[in-house]
Amino acid sequence: MQPSSRSNFARIAMIIDCFDEVNTPRKSAEIIDLLETSRATGFGLIRALVKSGWLERVDHGIVRLGHKATQLIHIPLEIDQALKDTSQFMKISGTVRTDRQPDRSTANEWRPELIRLVDTTSYKRPGPYRIAFANASLGNPWRKAMLASMRYAERLHGDLIARFDVSDAGDDAKTQLAQVNQFIEDGIDLLIVSQTRFDDKELSDRLSEIADTGLPIIAVDRRPDVPDALVSFVTASDRRIGWVSAMWMAERLNGQGRVWMLSGLEGASPAIRRQSAALAGFANFPGIKIEAVNYTSWTEEGGYNAVDRLLADGAEIPDGVWCDSGLQGIGSLRRFLEEGKALPAHTGGDVNQMYKLALHHKLPFVAVDYPAAMGARAIDIAIDILSGNRVASRLEVPVQVVLPRGSETPSVAADIWAETHVRWELPDNTILSQGPSLRTRAAQIEADNP
Partner 1 sequence: MSENNAYDRAVAQFEAVATAPSEHIISNPAQLSRQANLARATGYRLALLAEAQSVLQREPTGTYRCGSLLLRAGLSALGFGNFAFIAPPLLVELRQSANLTAFLYVISDGTLRIGPYSLGRSSDFVRPNALYQAHSYDPVQAGDQGTLEISCTMPDQTKTQRMTILHGAQSKAGCCGLGLMLPPHLQTVSETGKRALTLAVKRFSAASKERTNED
Least distance to partner 1, CB of residue 370, Å: 9
User: Does 373 sit near partner 1 (CB under 8 A)?
Assistant: yes
User: Does 397 sit near partner 1 (CB under 8 A)?
Assistant: yes
User: Does 447 sit near partner 1 (CB under 8 A)?
Assistant: no
User: Does 392 sit near partner 1 (CB under 8 A)?
Assistant: yes
Distance (Å, whole) CA 80 – CA 340: 41
**Local structure of 136: helix, strand or coil:** coil
Q: Are 209 and 101 in contact (CB under 8 A)?
A: no
Least distance to partner 1, CB of residue 37, Å: 12
User: Which residue number, 175 or 387, has a Cβ lying nearer to partner 1?
Assistant: 387
User: Does 97 sit near partner 1 (CB under 8 A)?
Assistant: yes
Instruction: Taking the CA atoms of 304, 307, 312 and 318 in sequence, report the sign of the dihedral they define.
Output: negative
Least distance to partner 1, CB of residue 128, Å: 14
Least distance to partner 1, CB of residue 379, Å: 11
Q: Are 140 and 327 in contact (CB under 8 A)?
A: yes
Of 146-165, which residues contact partner 1 (CB under 8 A)? 156-158
**Local structure of 15: helix, strand or coil:** helix
User: Which residue number, 100 or 360, has a Cβ lying nearer to partner 1?
Assistant: 100
CA distances from 79 to 75, 91, 241, 415, 416 (A): 10, 17, 19, 9, 10
Of 11-30, which residues contact partner 1 (CB under 8 A)? 12-14, 16-17, 19-23
Phi first, then psi, for residue 131 (nearest 5°) are -115, 140
Of 179-198, which residues contact partner 1 (CB under 8 A)? none
The gap from C-alpha 16 to its chain's centroid, in whole angstroms, comes to: 28
Of 31-90, which residues contact partner 1 (CB under 8 A)? 41, 44-45, 47-49, 51-52, 54, 64-85, 90
Which is it for strands 190-193 and 217-220: parallel, antiparallel or unpaired?
parallel
Distance (Å, whole) CA 108 – CA 252: 20
User: Does 127 sit near partner 1 (CB under 8 A)?
Assistant: no
User: Which residue number, 161 or 180, has a Cβ lying nearer to partner 1?
Assistant: 161
Mark 197-236 with x for binding to partner 1 (rule: CB under 8 A) and - for no binding. Answer: ----------------------------------------
Q: Are 372 and 400 in contact (CB under 8 A)?
A: no
257: left (phi over 0), alpha (psi -120 to 50) or beta: left
| Number of chain residues interacting with partner 1 (CB under 8 A) | 92
